[in-house]
Amino acid sequence: MKKILFSLLVPALFMGLMTSCETDRDSNPTLDVSKAQEGFHLNVPANAVNNTYDLLAGEKLWITAEQPNYGGLPYMTRYFVQVSNEEAFTQFTELATSFTTAKMGVDTYEMNQAIVAMFKEKNPDLDYPNLPAPVWIRLRAIIDGYSYGESFSNIIKLPSVLANYQAPKATLPTDILIVGSSIQTAWADWKPLAPVYDSPGKFYTIAYFPAGGQFKWGLEKFDWRGYDRIKNYDDQAGAGIHEAASDGNIQIDNAGWYGLLFDAEIVGNNIQYTLHVYPAAAYVIGNGTGTWDDSAAEWALTAPADASGQWVSPAFTGSGELRAYIKYPGIEWWRTEYTLYQGELYWRTVNIISSWADNVGAEYSVNVSPGQKLYVDFDKNTGEVK
């Protein structure tokens, strides 16, 4: 409760002020923090209207204010500066430096960083424009050393403030993961996408979505990026992809297996993402099939009904090293190739000149024989030949 009489809260602290003669006791001022709730006045700097404040060109922005009303007593007051990019002041930052006088030299570097950070919080994929813009300022005050007596000033507007942001050099992501309602353990397991070989910024996977299935994505676990963090959507599979009604998830309306291909691109100092959605397609190729033709229809794996089943290849007709891949339009098969390593899918990340055995290692090479088939769980990224 903020309406607290001085005599009830801090008798020891202010006892000296209560030792006046009985004859004039009624006229002695008494600490009354309720009056502080009425606020206090922050002055607009005299040169604010016709001046552009370049925050990185100077060291201080000088502002003055009246002291909050604590019942007429001149207690030591601590002032905190709050800044906002919007007049409504719903998003604001309180600067680290505080003051104990009503004339304050605000650190313009602190102010610059706060303004830019608030913009980036709302616009994570955009550069701060580095152009003069309005900024709003408010003060918060308390009795110094105590948590009571909080009071807020009026909000003032500085019409032209130049903040600056030098973005770090943008780099393409090295990982993309997805998590969702039908991906491994729902909303718990983050499934890594495989990088398209020798194609920086491109990542792919196969995933099953029931009707209305939803997912999020990120550059690391618990990044939780949603629909609005992708610039462009390219639905080539009739998946019915759109933003979910709540939570900002990416939603797939039409049930099925889909090949997801994320494509990251550097635009200015930011990364923009395109998500291509294709009908899922997987093939085997090479000596075990008797052909090296890309996307030979007779060597397509058959998809299961849902994520609980396995994709199955036709029976191999020859012997040799397993060569298998997921197919995406316009991408050579060997860029999205995989093998089996200790029962898990191992995605190609190196130049294979002759074979997995020769160029990666014997333990990454799987030999197939006539009559055997490849079985793959693309939800869990596991597989076997039998």
The CB density around residue 209, as the number of other CB atoms within 10 Å, is: 28
Look up residue 91 and give its two tokens. 């998003």
The token pair at 338 is: 């995989």
Residue 23: is it exposed, middle or buried by C-beta count within 10 angstroms (0-12/13-18/19+)? exposed
pLDDT of residue 138: 97
pLDDT score for 144 = 84
- Give the model's pLDDT for residue 11: 37
State the pLDDT at residue 158. 95
**Contact between residue 325 and residue 313 where contact means Cβ atoms under 8 Å apart:** no
Parallel, antiparallel or unpaired: strands 53-54 and 156-162: parallel
Q: pLDDT digits over 129-158, tens only?
A: 889 999 999 999 998 877 778 999 999 999
Instruction: Identify which has the larger pLDDT, 70 or 338.
Output: 338
User: Is 0.75 topped by the overall pTM?
Assistant: no
Cα gap 223→216, rounded to integer Å: 9
Q: Is the pLDDT of residue 28 over 60?
A: no
* 25 three-class SS: helix
For 108-181, strand residue ranges (E) read 133-143, 151-152, 156-162, 177-180
Tell me if 68 sits within 8 A of 102, measured CB to CB: no
Confidence of residue 70 (pLDDT cuts 50, 70, 90): confident
Q: Which residues pair with 44 in a beta bridge?
A: none
As a whole number, mean pLDDT of residues 171-182 equals 97
Give DSSP secondary structure letters for 339-354.
Answer: EEETTEEEE--S--SS
The mean pLDDT value of the chain amounts to 90
What secondary structure does DSSP assign to 51-63, as a single string? --EETTT-SEEEE
